[in-house]
Structure 1
Amino acid sequence: MHRMNVVFTEHADTWYREAEQKAAQYFALLYDQVITKTYVPTLTEDIQLWKRDHISHHSLLSLFSRGKRQPDSTDYHRYIQWLNYTGKLDGYLDRSVSYMYMRDLGKALDSSDTQIRIQRVVADVKKHLIRSTRTNEGDQPDYISLAGVYRWAQKEGVENATIWVINKLKQVSAHLPKEMNAEHAQRKLIKIIIGVILHVVEEMDANISPAERALRLDEAIRLGYSYGLTYPFIDDLLDSGVLHPAEKEQYSRMIETAILTGTVPEIGEWDGDNKEFIHYVHSELREAFEYIKSYQPPDKLHTFFEQSYVFFHSQDIDRVKDLSNASYTNEELYIPIILKSSSSRLIVRSVMSAPEDESFEQRTFFYGIYNQLADDFADMFDDMRDGAVTPYTYYLKYRGQRSDLINPFELYWAVISHLIHTVYHSNAKTREVVLDRAINGLKRCKQRLGIEKYNEIMEIFASGNPEFNRLIQRMVKKADDVDFFDKLLRDQVVSVLRNNRKEKETFADTVKTVRHQINLQLQIPKYNGIAPIRESLIDAANYSLEGDGKRLRPILTWVMAVNEYGLHPTAIVPLLRSVEYMHTASLIFDDLPSQDNASTRRGRPTLHQVHNSATAELTGLYLIQKAIEEQSSLNEFDATTVLALIKYSSQKAGDMCMGQEMDLHSRGKTLTLEQLNTICFYKTGIAFEASLVMPAILAKVHETEIASLKKFAYHAGIAFQIMDDLLDLEGDHLVLGKPIGQDVENNNSTFVSILGHEGARKEMWEHYCLAMEALQEIPRNIVFLKHLLNYIVNRDR
C-alpha cells in the first residue's frame, strides 16, 4: 500500500496539469467563438430550422383540443393524461429519453443502435405512465413511492439492495444538519443512483440471464449510492456554512489524502459542535470509498483515482474563490468548471469499470460545461446571496469594471453551437434536443423569476447580440413542446420529499399531542369510600397504564374518528380509553410466567413482578371489563350503533385470546409461514383493525371502506410483528423498554427464525406494499396511515 501511496502522490500534479491543458484548449476555442461572434449566424440558422416544429399554427385539431386546457405540470397525472390526449406524449418522451442518452450515457444520437434503444425505452415508459395515471390518479407517481420502488425491486430481484439503500437514504436525511437541504441531498443521491443504473442497464447484453442482471443491478444500486454520497457529504458540505474555515481545511485535506493514497485516513481530533456529524460522515464515506475501490479491477484503479483527483481538485480550486477578488482571469473562472463538470460524469463510468470508449470520453468532456452553465444560470441569485463565485455571479458584479470578462450567457450559446456542429456533426436530432433544452431552461427561469426580473437579467446578459436575443426571446415566448420528463421528475421528487417531510412532522406532532391527551384520560379514578381491595386493583391497573406506552392504537382511533370522520373529540374519549385498556390487559396476560414470562414492559418491571401472577390476572380481567364499561358510555351515539361496536369489540377480544392460545401451543414447534401469519394477525393485526374499524362503525362508514381498512390492518399488523421480531434480535433493550432475545429464549417460531434475517425484511416490505395498496382502495387520502406504515417499518422500539 505504501508503494501505491507514493505513485498516486507523485502523479497528482501531472494528472491535473494534463486535464487543465485540455480544458484550456477547449476554452480557447469557445473564447474565440464568443469574441468573433461566429456562433451567432450558425445558431440563428439552426433556430430558424428548429422553430418550424415549435411555433404553434392553429389547426382544426388544435381548436378541437382547446376544450381540454393544458394543466400545470405540477398536477402530474392530469399533465401526463393531457400529453397523451393531445398526441404530444410520444414527442415529449422521445426528446426526454434522447437527452438522457446524450447527457447521462454519453451517446451520439446519429447512431441507429442508439435510436432503437431510445425508442424501446420510450415505449416502455409510455406504457407505464399511461397505466400509472389510470390507476393512481390524484396520488404521487408510484415509482417515487417506497411501495413502487420495492415492487420494481421484486421484479428485478434486487430487494436486498433496495432495502439497504432505502435505509441509507433515511439515515442521510436524518443526520444532515438544518443548514443543509435534506430534500436537495436526497434528490441528488436518487438521481445519481438512477444514473448509474441506467449506465449498467445500457451496458448489459440483451441475452443476459436474470440472475446476472439482478447481480449487476444490485451492484449498481450500491455503487450509485456510494458515489452519490460524495455530493451531500463532500461538495454540499464544503459549500455550506456548517463547517468553519479550519474544519473545511481539515476535511478537504482528509478527502485529498484518501484519493492520493487509496485509503481513508483516521479522522483524528475533531472538536466543536460538528464532531458527532463528522464522525457519521467519515464512517459512511469510508464504507462507500472501500466499496467503490473493491469493485475496481486492478488495471482500472489508476483511472478511477486520476479522475477523482481531477474532479475534487477542480472543485476545491473553484470553491475557495472569493467574490470580493476582482482580478480572476477568464481562464481561472472557466477552466475549473470545464474540468469538474466533465470529470463528474466520467467518474460514473470509471466507478462502474465500464469498457473504455474514447468517443464517450470526448463527448462527455465537451458536454459537461453545457449543463454547468445552465445550472449556474438557474442558481445565480442563490449563488450571489451566498457569495459564491460562478461565471454569472462574477460577471454580474464586475462587468462594469472589467471589459475583458467573458459574458457567460454568450459562452453558453457558443458551447451549444460547438456541440451541435463539431461534437455531434450537425445531427438534426441533436440540434432538436439541445435547443429544446436551452429554450426550456429559459422558459422555466422566466416563470420562476417573473417577467420583469427576467427581462432585467436579459438586458444584462444578452445586450451584446440584440438581434440574436430578440430571436431567442421570441422562442421563449412562443415556442411549444420543449418541456422534459426529467424536469417533471425532478419537480415531483422535490415536491414529494418536501411534502413527506412536512407530513412526517405533522404525523409526529399529532402522535405527541394526541398521546399526551390520551395519557391524561387513562388513569382510573378512586372515589371516596372505595373498598380497599378495589383500591389495590385500581392501583395495579394504573401502574400498568402509566408505563411509557406508544399508545399507537388509541392514537390511530382518535385520528380516524376526529380527522377523517369528523367526530367530536370529547365524544370519543370513552372509546380511546377502551382501546388502551384492552391493549394493556393483553400485555399483562402476555407477560405472565405461564405465557411469555417477561420481566420488563414499557421500561418498567412487569405487573406480576411488582405484585404476583394472581394480581396481574385479576388486573387484566378488570381492565377488560372497564373497556366494555367505557364503550357502553358512548352516550353521544345512538344505541344501535354502540351495540354494534360492543359486539364487534367483544368478538375481536375473543379472537385475540385465540391468537394468544395458538401462540402458546406453537412454542417449541416449527411453524409454516401461513401459520405464523395467522397467529400474528390474531395477536397484533386484530388490534390495529379494531382501532380503525370501531371509529368507522361510529361514523357509519360504508362496508366497502371498512373492508379496505381491514385489509390495511391485516398487512400493517403483520409488518409490525415482523419488525418486532427483528428488534427482538437486533434492537437496543434500553430503547425498546423490554428485554431482547426473548423469542430465542422462549423457543418461539418467529418470522426471523422461519425466513432468516433477510427473508424477514423482505416479507415485512411485502406486507408494507400490500398495506399501501389497500390504502389506494379507500376513497380518501389518509396521510396519517401512510406515515404510520413508514413508522412501523423504520422504528427502533
Structure 2
Amino acid sequence: MYSMNEQLIKNADACYQLAEQKAADYYQSLYLQVMQKTYVPALTKDIQSWKHNHIHHHRLLSFFSRRKGKPDSQGYHNYIKWLDSTGKLDNYLDRSISYIFMRDLGKALDSPDTQTRVRRVVDSLKTHLIHSNGPDHGDKMQTMSMAGLYRWAQKEGIEATMIWVVNKLKIVSTHIPKEMDAEQAQRKLIKIIAGVIMHVVEEMDNEITPEERTQKLDEAIRLGYSYGLTYPFIDDLLDANVLSAKEKKQYSNLIRTTLITGSVPELGEWTGKNMDLIRYIHLELRDAFKYIKSHQRRDTRKNFFEQSYVFFHSQEVDRVKDLSNANYTNEELYIPIILKSSSSRLIVRSVISAPADEGFDNRTFFYGIYNQLADDFADMFDDMKEGAVTPYTYYMKYHDKRQDLINPFELYWTVISHLIHNVFHSDPKTCEVILDRAINGLKRFKERMGKVKYNEVMELFASGNPEFNRVIQHMVQKADDVDFFDKLIRDHMITIMKNERKEQEDFLDTIENVRIQINNILNIPQTENVSLMKEPIIDAANYSLEGDGKRLRPIITWVMGTSGYGLKSSAIVPLLRSLEYMHTASLIFDDLPSQDNASTRRGHPTLHQVYNIAIAELTGLFLTQKAIEEQASLDQFDAKTVLKLIQYSAQTTEVMCRGQAMDLDSIGKPLTLEQLNKMCFYKTGKAFEASLIMPAILAHAKEFEMEALKKFAHHAGIAFQIKDDLLDVEGELNLLGKPIGKDAENNHSTFVSILGSDGARIEMWEHYCLAMESLQEVPRNTSFLKHLMNYIVNRDH
C-alpha cells in the first residue's frame, strides 16, 4: 500500500543486519560464558565481598528492635521518614541515583564527573524529601500531584508546556481502546518524558542561562511526549488484540515506511472497524515525528531513524513468535531482545540530538539485555498466561524437551558478571549497585509470588548450579539495604493512580446519584386552592428547575454535610433546595435581555423566551423567596444556628448581585486582571463558598476551617469562571447547552479577552493550585473537593 524506493529498503535492511551481527557477536560471547560457567566463581567472589555491607550481625534484642521499627516500603512517606531516622537515607539515595545514571544515562560510575553529579542530585533530592516529609506536610503532601508538578513547572518557567502535556496525556488516555491498559500507557508515557528530561538536564552545562534552560526543558517535554507516543500507539497497539490481522499488517507497513523514508505517508484508504482510532493516531504520530525531526541535527536525525528501525523491526520479529512453536533457536530468542533492549535507550540520545559518545553507546548496548531479562523474570507468569514468547516462558515450556536451550536465569547472571568485569572494568561502585539491584529484584519477586511459588521457580531455573544458588538464596533471605528509590516511586505512583481512579469513580457515582436525588426534590407543587386562573410563576419556576443542570452547589453541600460533618441527609434537604432555587434564580436574571440576553440555558430556550420578560423577572424573585423559606424550614437545627445561616445566605446574595452589577457595568470597558478576579469571585466563587460554608455553619465548624474552605471556594470559583470563559470560545454547543461566543457578542471582558487562551489557562491552573493547597488546612477527608477541582478544570461543559 505504501510505496518505497528500493534503495531505501536495502539501506534499512543493511542497517538492521549490521546491528544484528553486533548482537549476534554479543550473544556468542555470553553463550560461551554460560557454557563455561565463568560467571560462577567471578560472582561468588563478588558476592562474598559485597555481603559485608548488607548482612548485619546484630545482637538478638537489637535485631528485633530494629526490625520492628521498619515500615512497609509501600508506605512512601513513612518509609522515607524511617530511612532518614535510621541514617540509611544517604546510601539509599546514592545507590538509587547511581543506578539511574548507569541505566538511563549510560554513565560510568567510576568517572569523577559522574560521582560529582550523582552527589549533587542526591543532596538536592534528600533536601526535598526531608522537607516534604516534615511535620507541617505529613501524608497530605502528594509528591506527584498535579499541583506539585505545576509548581515545579512554574519554577522552571514552563507552566504552559506542563498544561499542554497534561492535556495531551488526557486526550491520549481517552483514545486508548478498552482492550489496552490506559493507566499503564499513561505511566509509560510519563516515564519516557521524565527520561528525556533527565538526558536533557544531564547535557546542560553550568553556564546555561535561565532562558536557555527554560527553552531546553520545554523541548524536552515535547520531545519526550513525541517519542513516548510510540509505545502506546505502536508497540502496545500491535501487541494488543485491537486491530484485525489485516489492520495490523497495514499499520505495520505504515510505520515501516515512515522509519525507512523518514516521513509519515498519507493514511489513504483504511478498511477495518478501527478507522477513527487509526485516523487519530496517524495525525498525532505525524505531528510527533515532525516535531522530533524539526529539533534534530541532520546527523542525529539519521541515527534516530536507523535506531528506530532496528527497534521496530526487532519488536516485529519478536511479536510474531508463537509459544506453540517448539523449534526456536537460542539465537532467535535472544538476538532480537539484545537489539530492542539496547536500541530503545539509544534512540533517546538521538531524539535530543546529544553529541556522539562511544562510551555511552557501548555501555548502553551491553546493558540493555540485563534490564530486559530482569523485567521478563518479574512478568513471566503474566507472559505465560498471555501466551507471550520470552526466554523464561519458552524455557518453562520446553526445558524438559530441549536440552540445547539456554537457561535464561543463568544468562541473567552471566550478563551481570559480564557488565561488572568486562564493561565496567570491575569498578567496586558498579558491582555494588548491580548486585543490590539483582538481589532486590529477587526479594520483590519472592514477596509478590510467595515463598512456595518462589521456591518452585528457583527449583526450575537455579537447580543447575546448586552451590551458586545457595549463595544467592542466602543473600535473598538475609541481605538488607538493597531497595531503590525508583521502585518506591513506581509503587507509589501505581498506588496513587489506583486510589485516584477509585476516588474518581466514587466522585462521578456520587455526583450522578445525588444529582438524581436532588432533581427529585426540586419540583414546586401547585398551591392547594387552585383558582380558575393559571399560576404561570410556579410553572415557570419548575420549567427553569427541570433543565439539565449540573446541580454542583447542592451536591457539594450534600457531600460536605453528610460525609464531611455527619449531618443527616433528611435534615439538610431544605438547604439543598434553597441553594438550587437561588442559583436558578440568578441564571434567570442573568439570561434576561437587559443583561446577557441568552437564547438557551441548560439545553432549552431561556425562560423569558418561553414566557415573557415580566414572568421571568417575577419567577426569579419568587425563587429567591422560596430559597429563604426553605432555609427557615431547617427545623432539626437550633434557631440561633439557622438564623446565622440565613444571615450568611442574605449576605451571599448581596455579594452576587454586586458581582452581576459590576459585570453589566463593565460591558465595553477593559478590566484589569484584579478587577476581573474580584468580579468573578462575587459572581461565581461566592456561590461555591456558600455551598461549603452553609453545612459548616450547621455543623458548628471551627473558624479556621471555615476560613480554609472560603479560601478554597475563592480560587475554585475563579477557576470555574476561567474554564467557562475558555469553553465560551472553544466549547461545543451540544455539550454546553448554551450558545458559544456570547461573551464576545456582548462585549464582556473575560479572562480570555484579557489574557488570551494560553494566558487564561495559566491563570486557571494557578487558581487550581491555590485551591488544592488550601485543602491542606482542612482537617477532614477532602478527596471529593480535590476531584471537584479536577472536574472543574477538565470539564467540557
Relative to the length of structure 1, the TM-score reads 0.98
Corresponding position of 1:106: 106
- Contact preservation (8 Å) 2:308, 2:343: yes
Corresponding position of 2:791: 791
Alignment of 1:189-204 (within 5 A): 189-204=189-204
Alignment of 1:102-141 (within 5 A): 102-134=102-134, 137=137, 139=139
Could you tell which deviates more after superposition, 85-94 or 297-306?
Answer: 297-306
Q: Which amino acid is the alignment partner of residue 37 of structure 2? A: K
TM-aligned CA distance change 1:148 to 1:590, over 3 Å:
same
Alignment of 1:133-152 (within 5 A): 133-134=133-134, 137=137, 139=139, 142-152=142-152
Corresponding position of 1:750: 750
Corresponding position of 1:336: 336
Distance 1:180 1:532 in 2: 64
Deviations 1:643-695 (A, max 9, x none): 11111111101110011111111111111111111000000000000001111
Distance 1:270 1:491 in 2: 40
Deviation at 1:126, TM superposition (A): 0.4
Distance 1:278 1:521 in 2: 46
Corresponding position of 2:731: 731
Alignment of 1:87-236 (within 5 A): 87-134=87-134, 137=137, 139=139, 142-236=142-236
Deviation at 1:135, TM superposition (A): 5.7
Equivalent residue of 1:460, what SS?
helix
Distance 2:186 2:600 in 1: 39
Matched residue count: 796
- Contact preservation (8 Å) 1:656, 1:682: yes
Deviations 1:694-725 (A, max 9, x none): 11111111111111110000000000001111
Corresponding position of 2:719: 719
Q: Which amino acid is the alignment partner of residue 472 of structure 2? A: I
Q: Which amino acid is the alignment partner of residue 670 of structure 2? A: T
Distance 2:66 2:413 in 1: 35
Equivalent residue of 1:66, what SS?
helix
- Contact preservation (8 Å) 1:578, 1:630: yes
Distance 1:158 1:292 in 2: 19
- Contact preservation (8 Å) 1:142, 1:149: no
Corresponding position of 2:640: 640
Deviation at 1:292, TM superposition (A): 1.2
- Contact preservation (8 Å) 2:536, 2:615: no
Distance 1:725 1:307 in 2: 46
Corresponding position of 2:550: 550
Alignment of 1:359-758 (within 5 A): 359-531=359-531, 535-758=535-758
Distance 1:132 1:395 in 2: 46
- Contact preservation (8 Å) 2:4, 2:257: no
Q: Which amino acid is the alignment partner of residue 783 of structure 1? A: S
Q: Which amino acid is the alignment partner of residue 530 of structure 1? A: V
Equivalent residue of 1:134, what SS?
coil
Deviation at 1:235, TM superposition (A): 1.1
- Contact preservation (8 Å) 1:23, 1:339: yes
Equivalent residue of 2:566, what SS?
coil
Distance 1:645 1:534 in 2: 34
TM-aligned CA distance change 1:141 to 1:359, over 3 Å:
farther
TM-aligned CA distance change 1:65 to 1:208, over 3 Å:
farther
Deviation at 1:155, TM superposition (A): 0.4
CA RMSD of aligned residues (A): 1.6
Distance 2:134 2:65 in 1: 20
TM-aligned CA distance change 1:532 to 1:654, over 3 Å:
farther
Distance 1:291 1:132 in 2: 36
- Contact preservation (8 Å) 1:5, 1:260: no
- 2:48 is the counterpart of 1:48: yes
Structure 1: which 5+ residue stretches go unaligned?
none
Equivalent residue of 1:656, what SS?
helix
Deviations 1:342-365 (A, max 9, x none): 000000001111101011000000
Distance 1:727 1:138 in 2: 37
TM-aligned CA distance change 1:532 to 1:48, over 3 Å:
farther
TM-aligned CA distance change 1:606 to 1:476, over 3 Å:
same
Could you tell which deviates more after superposition, 261-270 or 385-394?
Answer: 261-270
TM-aligned CA distance change 1:600 to 1:467, over 3 Å:
same
Distance 2:103 2:534 in 1: 76
Q: Which amino acid is the alignment partner of residue 275 of structure 2? A: K
Distance 1:39 1:372 in 2: 19
Deviation at 1:273, TM superposition (A): 4.0
TM-aligned CA distance change 1:760 to 1:710, over 3 Å:
same
Deviations 1:127-181 (A, max 9, x none): 0001111167553653410000000000001111110110111112222122211
Corresponding position of 1:258: 258
- Contact preservation (8 Å) 1:660, 1:683: yes
Could you tell which deviates more after superposition, 239-248 or 134-143?
Answer: 134-143
- Contact preservation (8 Å) 2:72, 2:79: yes
Could you tell which deviates more after superposition, 628-637 or 5-14?
Answer: 5-14
Deviation at 1:67, TM superposition (A): 8.7
Equivalent residue of 2:139, what SS?
coil
Distance 1:57 1:534 in 2: 92
Equivalent residue of 1:489, what SS?
helix
Distance 1:689 1:454 in 2: 56
Distance 1:171 1:156 in 2: 25
Distance 1:636 1:708 in 2: 27
Alignment of 1:211-360 (within 5 A): 211-360=211-360
TM-aligned CA distance change 1:130 to 1:61, over 3 Å:
farther
Corresponding position of 1:74: 74
Deviations 1:287-335 (A, max 9, x none): 2122112222223221111000000000000010000000000000000
- Contact preservation (8 Å) 1:180, 1:237: yes
- Contact preservation (8 Å) 1:315, 1:336: yes
- Contact preservation (8 Å) 2:370, 2:416: yes
Deviation at 1:63, TM superposition (A): 5.8
TM-aligned CA distance change 1:713 to 1:531, over 3 Å:
farther
Deviations 1:425-465 (A, max 9, x none): 00000000000000000000000000000000000000110
TM-aligned CA distance change 1:724 to 1:5, over 3 Å:
farther
Distance 1:549 1:593 in 2: 21
Corresponding position of 2:58: 58
Distance 1:308 1:467 in 2: 42
Deviation at 1:61, TM superposition (A): 11
- Contact preservation (8 Å) 1:140, 1:496: no
Q: Which amino acid is the alignment partner of residue 363 of structure 2? A: R
Relative to the length of structure 2, the TM-score reads 0.98
Distance 1:158 1:165 in 2: 11
Alignment of 1:6-45 (within 5 A): 8-45=8-45
Distance 2:141 2:319 in 1: 37
- Contact preservation (8 Å) 1:196, 1:348: yes
Deviation at 1:527, TM superposition (A): 3.4
Equivalent residue of 2:134, what SS?
helix
Deviation at 1:511, TM superposition (A): 0.7
Deviation at 1:480, TM superposition (A): 0.4
Distance 1:734 1:3 in 2: 42
Equivalent residue of 1:655, what SS?
helix
- Contact preservation (8 Å) 1:23, 1:335: yes
TM-aligned CA distance change 1:403 to 1:4, over 3 Å:
closer
Distance 1:132 1:531 in 2: 68
Structure 2: which 5+ residue stretches go unaligned?
none
TM-aligned CA distance change 1:274 to 1:490, over 3 Å:
same
